[in-house]
A and B are shown apart, each in its own frame.
Chain A
Amino acid sequence: MKADSEARTSGEAAAAFPPGTFRPSPGRAHPLRMLAAHTRTEAILTLRHGEQALLTLIIPLGLLIGASTLLPGAVDAIVPRILALAVMSTAFTGQAIALGFDRRYGVIKRLSATALPRWVLISGRVLATLIVVALQAIVLGITAVLLGWAPPAGGLLLSIPLLVLGTVTFGAAGVLVGGILRAEIVLALANAIWFVLLLAGGLAVPPEELPGAVGILARFLPSGALAEALQAVLTSGQPPGLQPVLVLLVWGAAAGGLASRTTRPT
């Protein structure tokens, strides 16, 4: 065959690719450079994704503006819950759906096959989620201030570790759901859980205002715990109670421990 004999001739290939073009020169980039590149990619992809932006920014922003306008004087009570919602949207629902589809498209395996160490693969995703949550918090915070929100400065500082803890806890739960199921099931389940936790998990409505058992349960859910803790620090400026922090820590440890065993690359 003509094609075969031509491709066999090394001169033909040499014409297209000068000798030495592919001379091996393997090596690993500096880990921090890999971490920066991976974090940047993850953050950009999250911000560029339309449905994710709706979930992570448009809905919390709409709820913040709508509720503050309908309930004058309630902005101080509304902002902590909106921040908790933003954390849950990004770290749990957004992360789970993104991971579900990333697995479907083979990206985890593709990246595992590069020099990226495992810790960079995980840290990059975590850092990107923290960056997106930080951007959300800034946009929501500025909007809230324009709507008359005036939190104590100490409370703002205390809210930062709480937002980080909430992001890591919800992120671990997101990885747990997104790391094992099929992409379509992840999509349905992550949105359903988001909706249930919003309405009955102590986010939209404080646990003490929820009926009976639901209200008690909500205190032990990460949604209710994060909302209550943020509410406490952002209204009083005092550290949160031990209970909501413990609830977040236990959920985060349980989900993370389980996810590290169940997460599949494809």
Chain B
Amino acid sequence: MSPNADSLAVEVRGLSKRFGDTAAVAGLDLGLERGSVLALLGPNGAGKTTTVEICEGFLRPDSGRARVLGLDPVTRAEQLRPRIGVMPQGGGAYPGIHAAEMLRLVASCTADPLDPAWLLDILGLSAAGRTPYKRLSGGQQQRLSLACALVGRPELVFLDEPTAGMDPQARRLVWELIAALRADGVSVLLTTHLMDEAETLADRVVIVDQGRAVAEGTPDELTAPPHGQQELRFRSQPALDLELLLAALPEGCRATEVRSGHYVVHGAIDPQAVSTVTSWCAHHGVLAQELRVSRRSLEDVFLELTGRELRN
């Protein structure tokens, strides 16, 4: 099914936003299909939060347009807000309010909320229910913020770096929650700079850098090597004769010893190529260790696309 306007929970076209001399978002396009999870992946300052805040109606774009559930998020904010859940970066609550009071306040704004006590319990906040917000740990504030985003049973949630500052257990829990949201038909737009988070949760990933989408696709599509560009890595004795191996491998393959004893073969890696490599090792009387035909990780893709800027 090809995405069309009706099936999109969020549609962003040619979005641009400047702050002074800085272009935070520069011609960004993206589409979140209803009931799916879209991850905006990018380094700090890539424009992720600005994009999300435009979609939430907190910021007005300089040009381009955003449609959220078919509505203009700025002019139709009052109609839109009851239908969406928002987890702003860094949370937000009265400094002196107890965690449970804050969640009840947000719940009381909605028609058919989840049970706040249950939500606090599953997020491990029951014991902190009477703790003032300013005395909660960073991770607890994040979990309370997530609870506030979910309590109104929204059809679309915006999660801006939902696991920032969380310990590994809490992160796992949040991942399970997001998977459950998706299973129940909630659309999720999340930002992250964590590769594994995007790879695990997202149906589609948009890699953002300097306000632009530099790559877009499912995690599988993004990490799939271009045809004929797989790679095979293995370890063995240093300084083996690569000429013999190259002669045996199909046309177009390249073999290099990247470090002493670490070999990489680039090209169309098929079962025959793997067999050729192991035969070649057998011919030398050595063992191919840690032999692995790898896909690129999302991190490889990400660094390939954005790494140059990080180094500058």
Contact = CB atoms under 8 A, between A and B. Distances in A.
B92 A114 contact: no
Interface residues of B, number: 52
A109 B77 CA distance: 13
Nearest to A30: B111
A122 B170 CA distance: 35
Interface string A1-32: 10110011010111011011111111111000
A102 B91 CA distance: 12
Contact of A26 (B90, B122, B152): B152
A28 B153 contact: no
Contacts of B196: 1, 3-4
Contact of A16 (B112, B152, B176): B176
Nearest to A5: B200
A41 B109 CA distance: 13
B88 A26 contact: no
Interface string A69-106: 00000000000000000000000000000000110111
Interface string B259-288: 000000000000000000000000000000
B184 A105 contact: no
A107 interface: yes
Contact of B153 (A7, A23, A265): A23
A27 B101 contact: no
Contacts of A13: 176-177, 179-180, 183
B109 A34 contact: yes
B78 A117 contact: yes
Residue of B94, B112, B155, B201 contacting most chain A CB atoms (<10 Å): B94
A130 to B, nearest CB: 19
Given A7-B200, A17-B176, A17-B180, A24 B185 contact: yes
A164 B120 CA distance: 39
B38 interface: no
B180 A22 contact: yes
B74 to A, nearest CB: 12
Nearest to B148: A110
B179 A7 contact: yes
B134 to A, nearest CB: 7
Contacts of A43: none
Contacts of A262: none
Interface string B157-181: 0000000000000001001110111
Given A7-B172, A41-B101, A24 B179 contact: no
A82 to B, nearest CB: 27
Given A13-B179, A29-B108, A107-B95, 7 more contacts: A10-B179, A24-B184, A28-B82, A37-B104, A48-B96, A111-B106, A117-B78
28 contacts: A8-B200, A10-B183, A19-B183, A22-B150, A24-B185, A25-B111, A26-B83, A26-B110, A27-B110, A27-B111, A27-B152, A34-B109, A37-B109, A41-B97, A44-B101, A45-B94, A45-B96, A105-B92, A105-B133, A105-B134, A106-B92, A107-B93, A109-B92, A110-B148, A114-B106, A114-B110, A114-B152, A115-B81
